[in-house]
């Protein structure tokens, strides 16, 4: 699921805005840093895929520089072309994602999450479905598959595939702890009620 046209780009931007719970059309000048980061992520993806002519090169260099600045500022190591539309990063803080990871739509990811490749390789990384919730401090690694609408509990270690959708997994190593996945949660399907910010709070503040 990649940005391959301007329509895709606008669709990703709108899906991310809704997933973050934002009611404004654009971030404020001060604040909303996580939202700004996600918009830069999508802009870089759009230019890399759709604006390859030489005269677009200066704009891409500028966007990549600004994207790197926000990555350092917020503590994110999140590469392009990994997350589908509807990405919701809960807050600023350390998040590390391998560039070979593939994540579907409507992912909610928290601080401390680490998604990596199997030891000894940079390419054998997780494939994660749609509407998946990744709790604070969760670690996923290796060539594993996570089905749609799975909730991953805080501080879990996930080193094997879970092919059954609509479940909750947790623990070290992770195992199924509930038959209730993210599809039963209110509002954002990838945001459990206990993880949703208080009324009026915005991501990145």
For the segment 71-99, the average pLDDT, to the nearest whole number, is 97
Q: What is the pLDDT of residue 1?
A: 77
How much is the mean pLDDT over the chain? 90
**Contact status, residue 85 vs residue 11, Cβ threshold 8 Å:** yes
- Taking only the tens place, the pLDDT of each residue in 176-185 is 999 888 876 6
pLDDT, residue 43, reads 97
**Complete DSSP assignment for 171-183:** TTTTEEEES--GG
Quick one: average pLDDT of 52-78? 96
Q: What is the pLDDT of residues 9-39, one digit of tens each?
A: 999 999 999 999 999 999 999 999 999 999 9
Q: What is the mean pLDDT of residues 75-79?
A: 97
The pLDDT of residue 120 = 86
Q: Select the more confidently predicted residue: 201 or 103.
A: 103
CA distances from residue 183 to 83, 149, 164, 168, 201 in whole angstroms, order as listed: 19, 6, 13, 11, 23
What is the value of pTM for the model shown? Answer: 0.85
Q: What is the pLDDT of residues 127-146, one digit of tens each?
A: 999 999 999 999 999 999 99
* Rg of the chain (C-alpha set): 16
Please state, as a whole number, how many other Cβ atoms lie within 10 Å of the Cβ of residue 197. 14
């Amino acid at each position: 699921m990649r940005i391959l046209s301007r329509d895709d780009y606008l669709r990703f931007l709108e899906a991310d805005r809704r997933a973050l719970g934002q009611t404004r059309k654009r971030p404020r000048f001060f604040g909303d840093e996580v939202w700004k980061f996600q918009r830069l992520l999508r802009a870089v993806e759009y230019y890399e895929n759709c604006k390859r002519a030489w005269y677009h090169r200066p704009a891409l260099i500028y966007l990549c520089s600004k994207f790197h600045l926000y990555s350092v500022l917020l503590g994110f190591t999140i590469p392009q072309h990994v997350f589908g539309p509807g990405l919701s990063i809960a807050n600023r803080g350390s998040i590390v994602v391998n560039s070979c990871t593939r994540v579907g739509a409507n992912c909610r990811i928290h601080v401390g999450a680490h998604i990596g490749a199997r030891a000894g390789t940079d390419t054998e990384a997780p494939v994660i479905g749609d509407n998946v919730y990744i709790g604070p401090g969760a670690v996923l690694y290796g060539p594993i598959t996570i089905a749609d609408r799975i909730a991953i509990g805080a501080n879990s270690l996930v080193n094997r595939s879970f092919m059954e959708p609509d479940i909750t997994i947790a623990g070290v190593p992770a195992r199924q702890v509930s038959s209730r996945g993210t599809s039963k949660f209110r509002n954002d399907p990838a945001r459990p009620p206990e993880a949703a910010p208080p009324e009026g709070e915005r991501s990145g503040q």
